């Protein structure tokens, strides 16, 4: 584990390598504790570089076993080897040379799950971002691209399967009890995309015929006996390949595409060229073990990793500062895929919920950074929602600015111009400037300025002049390292709605550019005047969340109700309901803290129930409408001095009022939204289940008794309904016999299924209230809790600290002290996992003074620890920085 404080890496310091890597030949002789790696690397010195410059290669906890230069042993005085680097001097000035490096590594002991590791009898790699340097000394950076040939030698009985990137060249026996396999990837790639898997796994096979008529072999490898559970993943893969051809014209480029599912994995999945490695929770599904959300996640993540074949693999990043170029762009692509496969407005609502709950707090706290950072200490800590989700939003805004056709032309030019290259944000943006003729310099501030812009809006109607004036002002708040901000180019989708619900089209607009329904805010303040408006309009602003901003716009409950009933943009309908409800939830939190009676505006309740009972709306949308803002959302909107207990009590009181007012509606929905026949994960059926379970939640609230939820649990024939009923029982009635019986039954029924056991743990970790900490500590003492498995730790510890404000944030500070203890325990084994869980403390300064002091004390316990990884040191230092 690296325990140094970490060297600061600056974007401004980027320079190409002194040497060009032409080819990589790797040979692995696999052994659980002594794997021999031989790397034959062919280099030549780059022109116009210092002819005496040494070759410096990266390492991480490596030990050099052998070093040859053009097949001759290198004298000791010609090189310097440390665990972190290999420097070779006196190299040829103009001719290519071959360096052969031999290292011995211990996959069994690699608990960091970076580089080559072995778990459950399976050898597996994870090389992004800097894991390859844990395998061999190498120029481990994304702008070093080369074709790879890989030879794998292993025990045949233990490892009948030997996989790597590219196309299979062949294999045969190799001495007594061993065999080998050879793979060649003709497409130059950076080292972070290298993959190797070896072991004994089952396989699901299929084929896909590309748009040019080539047949591609598709293989998904899973543990033996779990093959039927990979069927949906295979279906999602084939749909992804077809969609990418139709929407972006991208055809797959190898003879084979493989996915391997493993249980011990730090990430969700990894897009290694031709050999994707997945956390098995994003591959395995059947109605008994997977919820509708699981099916949707599998579909989206399978698509995301496949789409990386072009946006990330064929075209990759020049340096890690450009990470959003592959991740943000590919998130946008997988969002579009899911929207086309399912419901576009429902998908958009889910995206914005996630963005606001995760990225907005990141953008307003000590971990804020631009979509393209300018410096980092530990690159693993920049796989953030800012890079992924806000990066996606920036791509979406380009599509909004240019329109679908020009955006497609820009993407086509990007693929044509930069195929096989490692590029920058500037290269990407230039393609859209070239096809559109539009200067995107100001727009590019979205990549360079951190923080969520605040847009303040006000409108006035002049009946005599028949004009509507809209005044807008923008402000980008100060963030760490950026105190002064420039005005952004903010594209705002908008509509003017008449009292009868029809849309008013203005005759003309002055004061701002309007293209179709997109109003362009480019100055610090602007006033747009719309002419030819026959009656006072209701303004719907930022439709479909066209721009990731905080919008301050005071609208009456009557106007919001009209939008919620009549807007053709269904996202805007949902947002209007949120805007109706949020003031009630904020006031309820304040009143609960003061011990004042909690009330709720009838317009909000009426609007919510009207949406719930509107059969013209799809069930999935109605389910989203009934999901009130979370306690974390309320805390974010309150801004500071937050008391988690008061927020919880206030929200519960509002839920109770809605439940009581709508109990007849919810009873009717619960009865009518059943899905007869065999389970299907299709979007329509999933929407019906979502609405029915939302109704069950409200009915249980109004019943204030567990009987209905327990009956639903007993009758459930799929994991979606089973886990929904169990969650209601455990969260609302945790101390009842019904809840305890259901939890015991669930555990017993699925005792042999790790993924469902994770669900059982996560449901309990999110039980509101101070007593949950003791429950978690008891669960951690069970044999089923495996500290070395990231999924298990995330299910219990991660859910508790990220999704249980009252349990984690209990007033005596015990939750914060628990986190500090866990971080110090996890960090030596798995620094990435520890650092990501620690980000749960990013908003500690928004707590009321007593809790803030307790949180600060826990952070100082971590900060003062004698030995921290670079990952955790970076996060704790930034969280504590004033």
Residue 692's H or E segment, with its range, is: helix 683-703
Give the integer Cα–Cα distance in Å for 539 and 559.
Answer: 8
DSSP 245-311: HHHH-PPP-SSEEEEEEESS-SSSEE--TTEEEEEGGGT---TTT--HHHHHHHHHHHHHHHHTTTB
**Four-residue CA torsion sign, 820, 826, 827, 833:** negative
Pick from 581, 569, 594, 573: nearest CA to 629? 581
Give the integer Cα–Cα distance in Å for 476 and 330.
Answer: 26
Instruction: Provide φ and ψ at 188, rounded to 5°.
Output: -55, 135
Give the integer Cα–Cα distance in Å for 627 and 438.
Answer: 41
Pick from 691, 698, 705: nearest CA to 664? 698
Residue 330's H or E segment, with its range, is: helix 323-341
User: Which structure tokens are listed for 729?
Assistant: 């029982």
Pick from 369, 268, 361, 270: nearest CA to 324? 369
| Contact by Cβ (8 Å): 795, 778 | no
| Contact by Cβ (8 Å): 279, 791 | yes
**Active-site pick, 38, 128, 271, 305:** 305
Pick from 34, 25, 263, 38: nearest CA to 149? 25
| All residues at 6 or more sequence positions from 640 whose CB lies less than 8 Å from its CB, including other chains | 845, 846
Quickly tell me which residue has 């698509």 as its tokens: 303
DSSP state of 369: -
Residue 665's H or E segment, with its range, is: helix 663-672
Give the integer Cα–Cα distance in Å for 559 and 499.
Answer: 9
| All residues at 6 or more sequence positions from 500 whose CB lies less than 8 Å from its CB, including other chains | none
Q: How far is CA 160 from CA 178, 202, 211, 407, 534, in A?
A: 9, 11, 34, 46, 76
Pick from 695, 589, 703: nearest CA to 652? 589
CB-based contacts of 336-339 (< 8 A; 24+ apart in sequence): 336/247, 337/240, 337/243, 337/244, 337/247, 337/300, 337/303, 337/307, 338/296, 338/299, 338/300, 338/303
DSSP 585-634: HHHHHHHHHHTPPP---HHHHHHHHHHHT-TTS-HHHHHHHHSPPPHHHH
- The yes-or-no answer on residue 305 being catalytic is yes
| Radius of gyration for the chain, computed over Cα atoms and rounded to the nearest angstrom | 28
Exposed / middle / buried, residue 483 (Cβ in 10 Å: 0-12, 13-18, 19+): exposed
Region of residue 312 (left: phi > 0; alpha: psi -120 to 50; beta: else):
left
Residue 741's H or E segment, with its range, is: helix 737-749
User: Which structure tokens are listed for 280?
Assistant: 């098995």
| Contact by Cβ (8 Å): 742, 708 | no
Most distant pair of Cα atoms in the chain: their distance: 95
Exposed / middle / buried, residue 93 (Cβ in 10 Å: 0-12, 13-18, 19+): exposed
Give the integer Cα–Cα distance in Å for 93 and 70.
Answer: 14
| All residues at 6 or more sequence positions from 404 whose CB lies less than 8 Å from its CB, including other chains | none
Give the integer Cα–Cα distance in Å for 723 and 282.
Answer: 18
Exposed / middle / buried, residue 102 (Cβ in 10 Å: 0-12, 13-18, 19+): middle
Catalytic residues: 305
């Amino acid at each position: 584990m690296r325990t140094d404080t970490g060297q600061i890496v600056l974007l401004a310091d980027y320079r190409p390598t002194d040497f060009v890597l032409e080819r990589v030949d790797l040979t692995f002789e696999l052994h659980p504790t002594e794997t021999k790696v031989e790397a034959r690397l062919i280099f030549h010195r780059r022109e116009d570089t210092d002819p005496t410059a040494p070759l410096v290669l990266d390492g991480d906890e490596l030990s050099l076993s052998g070093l040859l230069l053009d097949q001759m042993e290198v004298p000791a005085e010609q090189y310097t080897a440390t665990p972190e680097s290999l420097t070779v001097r006196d190299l040829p000035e103009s001719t290519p040379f071959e360096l052969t490096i031999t290292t011995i590594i211990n996959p069994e002991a690699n608990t960091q799950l970076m580089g080559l590791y072995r778990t459950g009898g399976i050898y597996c790699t994870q090389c992004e971002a800097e894991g390859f340097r844990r395998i061999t000394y190498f120029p481990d950076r994304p702008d070093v691209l080369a074709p790879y040939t890989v030879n794998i030698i292993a025990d045949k009985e233990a490892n009948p399967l030997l996989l790597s990137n590219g196309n299979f060249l062949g294999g045969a026996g190799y001495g007594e009890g061993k065999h080998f396999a050879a793979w060649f990837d003709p497409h130059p790639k950076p080292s972070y995309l290298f993959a190797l898997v070896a072991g004994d796994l089952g396989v699901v096979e299929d084929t896909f015929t590309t748009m040019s008529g080539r047949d591609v072999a598709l293989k998904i490898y899973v543990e033996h006996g779990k093959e039927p559970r990979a069927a949906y993943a295979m279906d999602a893969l084939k749909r992804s390949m077809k969609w990418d051809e139709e929407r972006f014209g991208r055809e797959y480029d190898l003879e084979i595409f493989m996915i391997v599912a493993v249980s011990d994995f730090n990430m969700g999945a990894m897009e290694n060229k031709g050999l994707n490695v997945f956390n098995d929770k994003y591959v395995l599904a059947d109605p008994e073990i997977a919820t509708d959300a699981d099916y949707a996640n599998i579909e989206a993540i399978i698509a995301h990793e496949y789409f990386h074949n072009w946006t990330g693999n064929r075209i990759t990043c020049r340096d890690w500062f450009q990470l959003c170029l592959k991740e943000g762009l590919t998130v946008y692509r997988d969002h579009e895929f899911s929207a086309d496969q399912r419901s576009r407005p429902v998908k958009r609502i889910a995206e914005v919920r996630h963005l606001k709950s995760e990225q907005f707090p990141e953008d307003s706290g000590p971990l804020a950074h631009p979509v393209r950072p300018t410096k980092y200490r530990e690159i693993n800590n920049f796989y953030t929602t800012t890079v992924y989700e806000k990066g996606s939003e920036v791509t979406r805004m380009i599509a909004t600015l240019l329109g679908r056709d020009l955006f497609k032309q820009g993407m086509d030019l990007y693929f044509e111009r930069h195929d096989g290259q490692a590029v920058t944000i500037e290269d990407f943006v230039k393609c859209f400037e070239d096809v559109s003729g539009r200067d995107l310099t100001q727009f590019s501030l979205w990549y360079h300025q951190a923080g969520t812009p605040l847009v303040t809006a006000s409108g006035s109607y002049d009946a005599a002049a028949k004009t509507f004036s809209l005044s807008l002002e923008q402000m980008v708040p100060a963030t760490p390292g950026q105190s002064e901000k420039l005005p952004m180019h903010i594209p705002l989708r908008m509509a003017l709605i008449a009292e009868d619900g029809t849309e008013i089209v203005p005759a003309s607009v002055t004061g701002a550019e309007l293209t179709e329904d997109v109003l362009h805010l480019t100055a610090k303040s602007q006033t747009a005047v719309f002419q030819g408006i026959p009656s006072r309009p209701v303004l719907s602003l930022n439709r479909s969340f066209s721009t990731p901003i905080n919008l301050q716009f005071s609208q009456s409950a009557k106007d919001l109700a009209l939008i919620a009933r009549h807007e053709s943009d269904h996202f805007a309908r949902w947002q209007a309901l949120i805007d109706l409800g949020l003031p009630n939830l904020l006031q309820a939190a304040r009143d609960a803290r003061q011990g004042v009676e909690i009330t709720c505006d009838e317009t909000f309740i009426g609007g919510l129930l009207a949406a719930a009972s509107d059969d013209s709306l799809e069930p999935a949308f109605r389910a989203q409408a009934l999901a009130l803002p979370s306690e974390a959302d309320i805390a974010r909107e309150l801004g500071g001095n937050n008391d988690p207990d008061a927020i919880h009590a206030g929200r519960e009181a509002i839920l109770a009022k809605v439940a009581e007012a709508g109990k007849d509606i919810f009873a009717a929905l619960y009865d009518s939204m059943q899905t007869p026949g065999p389970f299907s994960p299709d979007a329509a059926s999933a929407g019906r289940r979502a609405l029915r379970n939302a109704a069950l939640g409200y009915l249980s609230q109004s019943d204030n008794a567990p009987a209905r939820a327990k009956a639903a649990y007993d009758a459930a024939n799929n994991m979606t309904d089973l886990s929904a009923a169990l969650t209601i029982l455990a969260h609302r009635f945790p101390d009842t016999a019904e809840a305890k019986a259901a939890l015991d039954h669930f555990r017993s029924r699925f005792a042999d299924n790790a993924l469902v056991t994770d669900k059982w743990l996560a449901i309990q970790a999110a039980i509101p209230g101070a007593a949950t900490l003791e429950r978690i500590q008891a669960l951690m003492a069970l044999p089923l809790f495996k500290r070395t498995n990231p999924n298990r730790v995330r299910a219990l510890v991660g859910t508790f600290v990220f999704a249980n404000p009252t349990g984690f944030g209990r007033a005596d500070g015990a939750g914060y002290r628990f986190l500090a203890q866990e971080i110090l325990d996890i960090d030596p084994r798995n620094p990435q996992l520890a650092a990501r869980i620690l980000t749960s403390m990013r908003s500690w300064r928004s707590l009321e003074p007593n809790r803030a002091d307790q949180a600060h004390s826990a952070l100082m316990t971590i900060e003062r620890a004698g030995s921290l990884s670079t990952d955790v040191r970076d996060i704790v230092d930034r969280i504590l920085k004033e």
